[in-house]
Amino acid sequence: MSPHLLLLSLVFPLISCEVAFRINEKLSTDPEFYEQWRDLVAIQDRQMTDHPEDLYQFSTVLDQLRTCPLIRTLSDGVHNLRVNDVAIYADIGHLSTFCRHNLTRLNNGDLDSCGHHSSSSELPTLDKMIKVFNPNLTVMNVHRNHDESFVNQVKEITARIKAIPDHEEKWKMIFMLPNIQDGEASETGQAAIEVLQAIEYLNDNLPRKTFIVVLKSSGKGMWRDASHAHSACLTLLDRWKKYVDHNSESVWEQVNTIVEKNFQHQLFTVEILPLLNEGALAQFPNGSDLSSLGYDCAHWSERGLSLLHVAIWTAMLSSQSMRTREYRPVHSMPKCPEPRCPFIRTSSNSAVCLWSKIEDDPFPLAPQIIAVAILAVCALLCFILVLFLCLRKDKSTLKKEKAFGSNFSSIKFIDDDV
Ligand SMILES: *[C@@H]1O[C@H](CO)[C@@H](O)[C@H](O)[C@H]1NC(C)=O
Ligand SMILES: *[C@@H]1O[C@H](CO)[C@@H](O)[C@H](O)[C@H]1NC(C)=O
Ligand SMILES: *[C@@H]1O[C@H](CO)[C@@H](O)[C@H](O)[C@H]1NC(C)=O
């Protein structure tokens, strides 16, 4: 062992998270990979500062949503669900967490866990966007290890939701955001099957007022791009190759069919978003933009997570045919609920959107209008009375004054003439 490597293995502390641990192991045993990886995190660091638009764009997302017109309507089922009606939020899957990027710490071998929950991000994420519409939103994050199966994560969420009073009467929105490393590299353990099992569990245990959004991760575009973009990513993503092989489009198609047949009712539904079908990294003129990825190339960076969440928001409020399948981690402004159909879009309301707007209720205003009317009539009567009295008074004084006035003006005229 060279002194260089010996030093490394001393410096790198033990980290509980599996991903960080394996990278650490590789870093301390493979000097070539160590050099590649240091190059990767240095490029990511440079590219993160290569987005001067970030500051403005990220800070305007929530402001933009605050300008959305509020449309009043009755929320009577999954097809008429507005963002405002969502009361409980949860997200699971490796794309719901992010890696922090601090070059100093990474270079010191202090690898981040990549398990930071979206709600802890300082950039806009789905929970913050929904909060613009419902400040009372309850946000749940899974305390368990993110490597646990989706069913286990969903079980934890379900138990905590059930502890909320009146949870059956509150709309619950659950996002399932798997990446290539969710599930297992096997027929029965692949991400699509895990997602299906989790949906089934929720259907059995939270059948009332639950809306599930799934980000389909069959496409490997994003990660194939990353593998091509940097040799360190190629090595890092290599261990997920088997997962990708199992995560085929055809299995997701079957999941989709099963969901349509069994898990779409009036008070429970699942929407599967195709954003990543042909997803890819954004491009700089000289190569791929790796700043949206974490240092492990599989998770997002804080920046990448926020960009994705804004895109999920817009996809959710767009009819099925308008949803993009070619996601790129670049800035986009979040869409307001469409005035024509201000709901989270489902297959049903994408085809026909039936609803009635509640016009502003005139009755709460009525007492004020009547009061104003009475006041106006009183004022008018007073005015007439005063006018009447004044006129009468004027008539009696007018005669004298007229005589005096005419005398005065005639005197004046005489003066002028003279
Ligand atoms: C990165 O980590 C170091 C050491 O913990 C800390 O001093 C520094 O402020 C951090 N940098 C940023 C930008 O957070
Ligand atoms: C939020 O909750 C508080 C108390 O729980 C309630 O008084 C308030 O009206 C709620 N606000 C909205 C916008 O629902
Ligand atoms: C591409 O150029 C930008 C400067 O425009 C630089 O910050 C970035 O690191 C370069 N990317 C690569 C992969 O060299």
393 vs 133, higher pLDDT:
133
Task: Please list, in sequence order, all residues whose beta carbon lies within 8 angstroms of the beta carbon of residue 168, skipping any fewer than 6 positions away.
Answer: 208, 209
Q: What is the pLDDT of residue 38?
A: 95
Question: For 371-383, what is each residue's pLDDT tens digit?
Answer: 677 788 878 887 8
Query: Which one of 45, 104, 108, 110 would you pick to mutate in the ligand 1 pocket, going by the greatest count of ligand atoms within 8 A of its CB?
Result: 104
Q: Which of 177-181, 198-202, 363-367 has the highest mean pLDDT?
A: 198-202
Q: What is the mean pLDDT of residues 164-181?
A: 92
Confidence of residue 68 (pLDDT cuts 50, 70, 90): very high
Alpha carbon nearest to ligand 2 atom 10, residue = 136
What is the percent of the chain where pLDDT is above 70? 84
With a cut of 50, say whether residue 351 has pLDDT above it: yes
Query: 200: which DSSP letter?
Result: H
400 vs 15, higher pLDDT:
400
pLDDT, mean over the chain: 84
Confidence of residue 283 (pLDDT cuts 50, 70, 90): very high
SS3 7: helix
Residue indicated by tokens 């986009």: 332
The number of the ligand 3 atom at minimal distance from the alpha carbon of 43 is: 9
Q: What is the mean pLDDT of residues 163-178?
A: 94
With a cut of 70, say whether residue 418 has pLDDT above it: no
User: 43 CB under 6 A from ligand 3?
Assistant: yes
Which residue ranges make up each domain of the chain?
3-351, 370-418
The number of the ligand 2 atom at minimal distance from the alpha carbon of 136 is: 1
Residue indicated by tokens 């042909």: 278
The number of the ligand 1 atom at minimal distance from the alpha carbon of 103 is: 1
Q: What is the pLDDT of residue 368?
A: 65
Q: Around Cβ 24, how many Cβ atoms within 10 Å?
A: 20
Q: What is the pLDDT of residue 396?
A: 59
User: 47 CB under 6 A from ligand 3?
Assistant: yes
CA distance 143 to 375: 62
Ligand 3 centroid to residue 35 C-alpha, Å = 18
Structure tokens at 353: 């959107």
Distances from the Cα of 371 to the Cα of 134, 184, 374, 381, angstroms: 34, 70, 5, 15
Query: Which one of 45, 105, 111, 122 would you pick to mutate in the ligand 1 pocket, going by the greatest count of ligand atoms within 8 A of its CB?
Result: 105
Q: Which of 148, 204, 195 is nearest to 174 (CA)?
A: 195
Ligand 2 centroid to residue 364 C-alpha, Å = 20
Query: Which one of 136, 164, 169, 170 would you pick to mutate in the ligand 2 pocket, going by the greatest count of ligand atoms within 8 A of its CB?
Result: 136
Question: For 261-276, what is each residue's pLDDT tens digit?
Answer: 999 999 999 999 999 9
Ligand 1 centroid to residue 101 C-alpha, Å = 10
Q: Which ligand is nearest to the CA of 105?
A: 1
Lowest mean pLDDT among 89-103, 109-123, 219-233: 219-233
Query: Which one of 230, 281, 284 would you pick to mutate in the ligand 3 pocket, going by the greatest count of ligand atoms within 8 A of its CB?
Result: 284
With a cut of 60, say whether residue 84 has pLDDT above it: yes
SS3 267: coil
5 vs 129, higher pLDDT:
129
With a cut of 50, say whether residue 180 has pLDDT above it: yes
With a cut of 70, say whether residue 399 has pLDDT above it: no
Q: What is the pLDDT of residue 118?
A: 94
